Amino acid sequence: MDTATPPSLTFRKMHGAGNDFVVIDSRGREPVTTSALARALGDRHRGVGFDQLAELRTGDDADFILDFWNADGTMAGACGNATRCVAWLVMEETGRDALTIRTARGLLQAQRVDGQVWVNMGLPIFDWQAIPLNAPQDALHLPMAGDPVGVGMGNPHCVFVVPDAEAVALDTVGPQVEHDALFPERTNVEYISLLGPDRLRMRVWERGTGVTLACGSGACAAAVAAVERGLTARRVVLELDGGILEADWREDGVWLTGPVADVFTATLTPAFLAAV
């Protein structure tokens, strides 16, 4: 067991549209998550299982800080659905309807409006160095088969517009695109197809995790790509494998909302932690 890991550790399990998380509250103490602990917890057979792990920390310039980890033990720069879910938790705890959250993406705003928690995931990034890409490229037309759109939303995203997202062999093409040399930090991969006015079908492969039922930052990237390709207006409903998300690209950033599910709270055993 890492010396920073406490002898017992309580966590929460949540999901947003099937995009599931382990949430660890480390406010008032040193952070406890390590790459090894994230991998152990992320194992759906020997641990708990998650798409991402979110750890809360005390912040000086924000209501709290959020760090994100993938199931393979790598860190993620953003996780829209986990941000929404944790914002909901803190709003329930405090009775507040507005929060600031510090992430690797920057200082994010969360608001509860008519019972729905919205999070501003920031402005989309098209600069090749900031996404990042491996060389100067037109992010709106990446030099790959399928003419995808490259978008940075805290994580790199590669969005393909296809006639039918259902027909894509995501298990096959997802890892190939994730590890393409064009993306030095790998990439999330989204496939979208137009269902109707301002409504998209989306499927996603997340770097460091694989196929997931939903992806918040990916939904934001998909909405941006749809606007840039002239498919939709700036407010878009996205149908994902796990449910419905909504993205609204405003002047100050891409706002995201969707369902929040608080599943259970549990404590890891000393034996489990000792084996990490």
DSSP letter string, 204-242: EEETTTEEES--HHHHHHHHHHHHHTTSS-SEEEEEETT
Is 220 a catalytic site residue?
A: no
Residues 198 and 233: beta-carbon distance below 8 Å: yes
Residue 115: left (phi > 0), alpha (psi -120 to 50), or beta? left
Residues 262 and 14: beta-carbon distance below 8 Å: yes
Is 79 a catalytic site residue?
A: yes
Point out which residues pair with 112 in neighbouring strands: 117
DSSP annotation of 117 reads E
Q: CA geometry: angle at 224 spanning 259 and 78, to 5°? A: 55
Catalytic residue among 79, 85, 158, 220: 79
Catalytic residue among 85, 158, 215, 220: 215
| Active site members | 79, 215
